[in-house]
Amino acid sequence: MKALKIKEVLEINTISKFCAVQGWVRTFRANRFVALNDGSTLDNLQCVIDFKSIDESLLKEINTGAALRLEGTLVESQGGGQKIELQVEKIVLLGVSDPEKYPIQPKKHSLEFLREKAHLRVRTSTFSAVMRVRSALSFAVHEFFQQEGFFHVHTPIVTGSDAEGAGEMFRVSTLDPKNPPLTKTGDIDYKSDFFGKETNLTVSGQLEAEAYAMGLGEVYTFGPTFRAENSNTTRHLAEFWMIEPEMAFYDLNDNMNLAEKFITTVLKKVVSRCKKDLTFLDERYTKEENSKPLIERSPMGLLEKINFVVGNEFKRVSYSEAYEILRNSKPNKKKKFQFPINEWGVDLQSEHERFLVEKHFNCPVILFDYPADIKAFYMRRNDDNKTVRAMDILFPGIGEIVGGSQREERLEVLEKRIKEMEIDKEELWWYLDLRRFGSVPHSGFGLGFERLVQFTTGMNNIRDVIPFPRTPQNAAF
């Protein structure tokens, strides 16, 4: 007999049906009650072992973490808490678990402790809920772009160019690190490396996506990206997933409109599809917030926060306006910012972004028209010759969730910028070709997928929304 998923069993909710289920024991009480979970839903199925002929030695093996197949009849539940339960008639022990050694005990564990057990933490309610929501978000992302007529392109993971020009790349090489071949001048000779040149893991699929937008029109990538920045924060990973749409014939306004529609559509879909998990995560979030000092608490619950974002327009503010707001703000005047705002052109730090979003505007904010000198080489120069057509979307509790821009489509302007920023023009020959043959205005953005999962699930640390986080000094599992 094919086993049913526990989600199906609880949904069909049919008394006297005979069925089989398979899963892991969450708890075993009074030598009778097994709470079985198979990951298909947050809920456990209560299974009652109540038959005479049961083998005592088998009972001893029903421990937290063990895997079982149970066959029996669905009956109306005698206890509270659930409508139906399984009256067990047959037990198959699939995998034992030593209760003394199994780390996931039926009690509250700290998130830090569970990070050390990343291979087992998905067997807790919190992590299984987060990962189901992550999966639903991923599906909704593809669904949105496919419905909008975008094409999904797979951009390369190994690249020769530094898309962001920030030099935070992981090298890819097959050379022997103890004995690399050298050139006459004593440098490492990458000509004899695997690809015949220096290569890295990509920091962004944007440049290649631009090439494809110039033929397919509207495209998106959704892949892993890698950054060797030594940021030990709750918002940075060395390996994260990024969604990068790129659109021919879009200006910055079209770009902002798409980004806003994209985020709100995806959130709406997930709110309607993951009700049970999000309700559970909402309660968890509220408990966590209530343990913080009053002034640090979020004024809204998780679902309230998501619905607020979905139901309200994002506030659009230019860098120059934001600069004035920040310069005249109380924390700036009282020297409360770690990085004071006293000169137009300074880069905004997360303390400034959070002030704008959480204190001043109290809603998601799109900042645009940034000073050219704090942004990447490919952004389109404005006529003031000081700012570029960049946009960042800032979210409450998260900070920057999206970074994007209209791209510089004018060959001479782009070449000049590449020279000013001392970027290797040779590597970008093909990117410049896009401006030589049928160049058109175009735009795109990148959304950090884990930051979106963080916002949706209310998890404070980005390490808790990806199965196996990669951070400085940590690549376990």
Residues of this chain that bind ligand 4AD (CB under 6 A): 163-164, 204, 206, 227, 236-237, 240, 242, 244, 400-404, 444-446, 448, 450-451
Sheet-wide strand order for 171-172:
158-159, 199-201, 171-172
- Considering only 32-40, 151-159, 370-378, 396-404, which stretch makes contact with Mg ion by CB under 5 A? 396-404
Residue (227 or 381) nearer to Mg ion, CB: 227
**Of 40 and 206, which CB lies nearer to ligand 4AD in the complex structure?**
206
Least separation in angstroms between CB 392 and Mg ion: 6
Q: Which does 243 bind (CB under 5 to 8 A by kind): Mg ion, ligand 4AD, none?
A: none
Q: In angstroms, what is the minimal distance from the CB of 452 to Mg ion?
A: 14
Select 97 or 253, whichever has its Cβ closest to ligand 4AD: 253
Three-class DSSP category at 222: strand
Answer for the pair 72, 87: CB distance below 8 angstroms, yes or no. Answer: yes
Q: DSSP 3-state assignment of 436?
A: helix
User: Applying CB under 5 A, does 403 fall inside the site for Mg ion?
Assistant: yes
* Residue-by-residue DSSP string for 237-303: -SEEEEEEEEEET--HHHHHHHHHHHHHHHHHHHHHH-HHHHHHHHHHHHHHHHTS-GGGS-SS-HH
We find the least distance from the C-beta atom of residue 439 to ligand 4AD, in angstroms, to be 18
For 399-434, give one letter per residue: b (16+ CB within 10 A) or e: bbbbbbbbbbbeeeebeebbeeeebeeeebeebeeb
**Please, which residue, 85 or 164, has the CB nearer to ligand 4AD?**
164
- How far is it, in rounded angstroms, from Cα 334 to Cα 327? 11
* CB-count exposure of residue 66 (10 Å: 0-12, 13-18, 19+): buried
Comparison of 126 and 161: residue with beta carbon closer to ligand 4AD: 161
- Shortest distance in whole angstroms from residue 210 CB to ligand 4AD: 9
**Residue with smaller CB distance to ligand 4AD, 190 or 212:** 212
Query: β-strands 387-395, 399-406: how paired?
Result: antiparallel
Question: How open is the CA angle 99-105-107, to the nearest 5 degrees?
Answer: 150
| 134/236 with CB nearer ligand 4AD | 236
Q: How far is the CB of 305 from Mg ion (least distance, A)?
A: 22
How many residues contact Mg ion, by CB under 5 A?
A: 1
Beta-bridge partner residues of 152 = 220
Closer residue to ligand 4AD, CB minimum distance, 206 or 332:
206
CB 8 within 8 A of CB 40: yes
* Tokens at 119, concatenated: 């291979």
448 binds Mg ion, rule: CB under 5 A: no
Q: Which stretch binds Mg ion (CB under 5 A): 188-196, 257-265, 319-327, 397-405?
A: 397-405
**Window contacting Mg ion (CB under 5 A); options: 224-232, 302-310, 398-406, 463-471:** 398-406
User: Cα-atom radius of gyration of the chain, to the nearest Å?
Assistant: 27
Q: How far apart are CA 472 and CA 469, in angstroms?
A: 10
Cβ 394 to Mg ion shortest distance, Å: 11
Tell me how far, at minimum, the Cβ of 403 lies from Mg ion, in Å: 3
Pick the stretch among 70-78, 239-247, 403-411, 464-472 that binds Mg ion (CB under 5 A). 403-411
- Residues 6 or more apart whose Cβ sits within 8 Å of residue 346: 323, 339, 374
Residue 155 Cβ vs ligand 4AD, minimum distance, rounded to whole Å: 10
Which residues of this chain interact with Mg ion, rule CB under 5 A? 403
